[in-house]
Amino acid sequence: MVSRRTALTAAGVGIAGVAGAAAVGSVMMNDAPDPAAASPGAPVPFFGAHQAGIVTPAQDRLHFVAFDVITKDRARLVEMLREWTAAAARMTAGRDAGLLGAVGGQPEAPPDDTGEALGLPASGLTLTVGFGPSLFRDADGVDRFGIADKRPAALEDLPHFPGDAIKPEISGGDICVQACSNDPQVAVHAVRNLARIGFGVVSVRYSQLGFGRTSSTSRAQATPRNLMGFKDGTRNLKLEDGKLLDEQLWAHADDGAAWMAGGSYLVTRRIRMLIETWDRTSLTEQEAIFGRDKGEGAPLGRQKEFDEPDFAAKGADGSPAIAMDAHVRLAHPAQNSDAHLLRRGYNFVDGSDGLGRLDAGLFFMAYQRDPRKQFVPVQRNLARHDTLNEYIRHTSSALWACPPGVAKEGDFWGAGLFS
């Protein structure tokens, strides 16, 4: 376990710290994560073919942030991505954001790390970056950075779904960073330092804190519960799914955008839950809406969480055991041309809304190879038919192209896009 404080004393201050970070980077590649080996404080390898934070076993905490790019200068944007990448490599290794660190620089200068993570271990921090459609062309169709012809066809704006209550000010964005960690302070620290480094180039559009992962992305993890009290992510794509990941998760060079090979598309949706109303709903109704029992998480009519749902089964009264509009039926790959998603959403509570109602819900995040074939048809299906819609409101929506991983020291996020 590398802590920032030991890194300071062991490696000395300044240049020695860089050498230390490089050594860590070169021995730990993220291609073959080993969930069993991970302790809550251990670092997750930063360099690799794919970005960390996608199949990485879901950490407990989230700080997600969407930025607007406010510079018109392509060189400045690229320079910031380089600086971000270098800072991310250090922070995910449990080190300070800058070379000098929170306490190693000149006393007269602001530190190049904000310091609130001093003494904390890496805590499984992953930083995952994505590019929104508006980075390629603005609302007026202007090619902002000479990359419009590189926009993947899969990165087209999400359609308006029935029932959407999207607030523009917390939707979209040019660049996102997903910071996941087992310690909220470490995730917040990472986002804060990237925002600081980006001043003048990017401006925070909105951000979301999440606690309590609502999905498992590894079979080594137990299925957690969302704020409605149900297990979430039972049928999720998981890092052990090998061939299925290649088919459903990772973009391929021949999908239309060669620079995205090894990357993935991320859909983010802030889903407000009408908690008080839900809590007044009978258990039977709640279970019917999800199509699973609340205690074990088994599909209705079956015994165990991971039992396959039997959509043909009839209940005692002759009606389907799993209702035709039950969530589990509508979202099931069998109902959606075998579309899978890798979800890694988080519960959120942003206090109360001024009327005494909990401002809470699910910050939904789902990775996939092509949202046009995966998220969009599944969500269309859910938005039209799902009874759950009576208890939720989608208030934020965004789509991101998450480039492949950073192969080695000196490379940077999105190098393929800007080369």
Q: Where along the sequence are the contacts to other proteins (CB under 8 A)?
A: 70, 105-106, 108-110, 196, 199-201, 203
Which is nearer to other proteins, 111 or 256 (by Cβ)?
111
Which is nearer to other proteins, 199 or 306 (by Cβ)?
199
Place of tokens 């009576």: 390
Residues 6+ apart with CB under 8 A from 322: 291, 299, 300, 301, 309, 310, 311, 313, 328, 329
Q: Are 135 and 69 in contact (CB under 8 A)?
A: yes
Which is nearer to other proteins, 73 or 350 (by Cβ)?
73
State the minimum distance, in angstroms, from the CB of residue 109 to other proteins. 3
Residues 6+ apart with CB under 8 A from 12: none
Radius of gyration of the chain from Cα atoms? Answer: 22
Distance in angstroms (rounded) separating the CA atoms of residues 173 and 151? 15
| Alpha helices (H) along 168-259 | 184-197, 243-248
- Angle, alpha carbons 61-333-161 (nearest 5°): 70
State the minimum distance, in angstroms, from the CB of residue 203 to other proteins. 5
State the minimum distance, in angstroms, from the CB of residue 105 to other proteins. 8
Which is nearest to 306 in space by CA: 273, 325, 328, 321?
Answer: 328
State the minimum distance, in angstroms, from the CB of residue 205 to other proteins. 9
State the minimum distance, in angstroms, from the CB of residue 418 to other proteins. 21
Which is nearer to other proteins, 8 or 202 (by Cβ)?
202
Question: CB-based burial of residue 363 (10 Å sphere; 0-12 exposed, 13-18 middle, 19+ buried)?
Answer: buried
Distance in angstroms (rounded) separating the CA atoms of residues 353 and 350? 8
Which is nearer to other proteins, 68 or 287 (by Cβ)?
68
Which is nearer to other proteins, 35 or 115 (by Cβ)?
115
Q: Are 402 and 367 in contact (CB under 8 A)?
A: yes
State the minimum distance, in angstroms, from the CB of residue 143 to other proteins. 22
Which is nearer to other proteins, 106 or 282 (by Cβ)?
106
Helix/strand/coil (H, E, C) string of 269-311?
A: EEEEECHHHHHCCCHHHHHHHHCECCCCCCECCCCCCCCCCCC
State the minimum distance, in angstroms, from the CB of residue 13 to other proteins. 15
